[in-house]
Amino acid sequence: MLQSLIREAASRFNLGDNASRFVRLLVDAVFDNDNGGFAGLRKRFEDAGLGDLFASWIGKQPGDNVLQPDQFSAGFGETASHQIAQRLGIAPALVNVAGATLLPKIIGLVTRGGVIPIARPADYESWFTAAPAAAAARDESGGGWWKWLLALIVLGGLLLFLLRGCKHDEAATPPAEPATSTTEPAAPVEQGNASFDFANVDGKVTVAGKLPSEADKTRLWDALTATYGAPNLSGDITVDPNTLPAGWLDKLIAALPDLKDAGLKFGFDGDKLKIDTAGLSDEQRFALSEKLRGLFGGFEISGLWDRAAAALAGLKSGFSGDDLVKALNLMNVYFDTGSNTITRDSLETLTNAANAITQAPSGTRIEVGGHTDNTGDAAANLALSQQRADAVVAKLAELGVGEGILTAKGYGQDKPIADNATEEGKAKNRRIEFSVQQ
């Protein structure tokens, strides 16, 4: 039942002999009664703000990239993923990358027809072994004669070996006592990050990088050639089997046709993305930053150039509190769905904000207001907006903003700035808003 996933774990994620054990541990978690079984796993994803995503896998055949590595860690449990890493002797990051791809498919398989499993099925063990149906059918129909012939050949060879051995028994030297091995078990090989660097200078593209397989290299190189043309492409991508899977590869390949601006530079190092758009116009920088942030929202991104970054960088010496909050309110701070957890791609945005706030005139006091759309319960929205405002204040304090400058207040859904009847309006209403306190 799970052989295709085991093969995928072995080949795509270089898990080798650990592939079957890895898939087994993921499936065991679905039926782990000590942690609530399927319902308990689903509840953990709901608590992480990923309940709707988890529900979308039930009775379906999820594809790749429906779950990000950081989301897997949040829903499956960081402790549980680290335990798997320790048991198999692999990097925790590999558990999160492979688990993000395989767990949704496992959920789809164990909930075929939309039926929620409540107990481990009787044929559970057979899920992890290849079914010998075809071989059994041949034996029952009399097609197993060749096995008897093979056995006779082996037996004959064994007898010949023993007869020859008898002739040399008298002269044989007694065998030495076997040496006791003191060799320590080999330590697991440290796996490095997949990487990729890209630079477009006047339409000539230079790349460098490292990927875990020849197949990944071929896919990426073919996509680069198709997008930019062989005469405009140079560089090299190496293959190292001890490299973690590139969680960005599929999305990058799909995005290449939109990444043709001369002057663009960017690079991946594992789940970190660094962007350099300094050679582009402001409008190009805004558009590309927005696109890359949308594609790789779960990554730690540096070099984003949005209107807030431009406004904060443009503040003149001696700026007022009003100038500051006008720039701050151009920011987009993102959170995990239904959660007050700030996404990793918002870190640089808040770092820029913290640097500007620390330069504000003495005595400046700023309120950080949290706002939601009108989806769901009003009281729950109010609580969530307060939690998100608190999270932003805490992060800015962590980034260097002094005590007493910021206060947090949640407004829930009571102060919309757009029509909640549209998704675009709801997106505008879900916001962090800064205001100067007199």
Q: What is the pLDDT of residue 171?
A: 47
Q: Give residue-wise pLDDT tens across range 196-225.
A: 999 999 999 999 999 999 999 999 999 999
Q: For residue 356, what pLDDT band results from cuts at 50, 70 and 90?
A: very high
The answer to whether 353 and 419 are in contact (CB under 8 A) is no
Q: For residue 13, what pLDDT band results from cuts at 50, 70 and 90?
A: confident
Q: What tokens were used for 405?
A: 């400058």
Average pLDDT along the chain? 85
Kindly report the pTM of this predicted structure: 0.59
Q: What is the pLDDT of residue 163?
A: 55
Q: For residue 156, what pLDDT band results from cuts at 50, 70 and 90?
A: low
Instruction: State yes or no: pLDDT of 413 exceeds 90.
Output: yes
Q: What is the mean pLDDT of residues 155-175?
A: 53
Q: What is the pLDDT of residue 220?
A: 94
More confident residue, 157 or 115: 115
Q: Give residue-wise pLDDT tens across range 122-143.
A: 788 888 775 444 333 444 444 4
Instruction: State yes or no: pLDDT of 338 exceeds 70.
Output: yes
Q: What tokens were used for 436?
A: 């100067």
Q: What is the pLDDT of residue 132?
A: 44
Q: Give residue-wise pLDDT tens across range 72-98.
A: 888 998 888 888 988 888 878 788 888
Q: What is the pLDDT of residue 134?
A: 39
What separation in angstroms does the CA of 118 have from each of 29, 53, 55, 115, 200? 13, 20, 16, 9, 54
DSSP-assigned letters across all residues of 188-252: PPPPBPPEEEEEEETTEEEEEEEES-HHHHHHHHHHHHHHH-GGGEEEEEEE-TTB---TTHHHH
Q: For residue 187, what pLDDT band results from cuts at 50, 70 and 90?
A: low
- Mean pLDDT is lowest, of 59-73, 259-273, 340-354, for 59-73
Q: What is the mean pLDDT of residues 6-33?
A: 86
| Percent of the chain predicted with pLDDT > 90 | 51
Q: For residue 174, what pLDDT band results from cuts at 50, 70 and 90?
A: low
In the chain, the domains with their CATH numbers are 3-128 (1.10.10.690), 195-292 (3.40.1520.20), 309-436 (3.30.1330.60)
Q: What is the mean pLDDT of residues 160-182?
A: 52
Q: What is the pLDDT of residue 4?
A: 86
Residues 6+ apart with CB under 8 A from 72: 81, 96, 99, 100, 103
DSSP-assigned letters across all residues of 265-313: EEEEETTEEEEE-TTS-HHHHHHHHHHHHHHTTTSEEE----HHHHHHH
Q: Of the candidates 206, 203, 31, 43, which has an alpha carbon nearest to the alpha carbon of residue 128?
A: 31
Q: What is the mean pLDDT of residues 408-424?
A: 93
Residues 6+ apart with CB under 8 A from 290: 306
Q: What is the mean pLDDT of residues 138-161?
A: 51
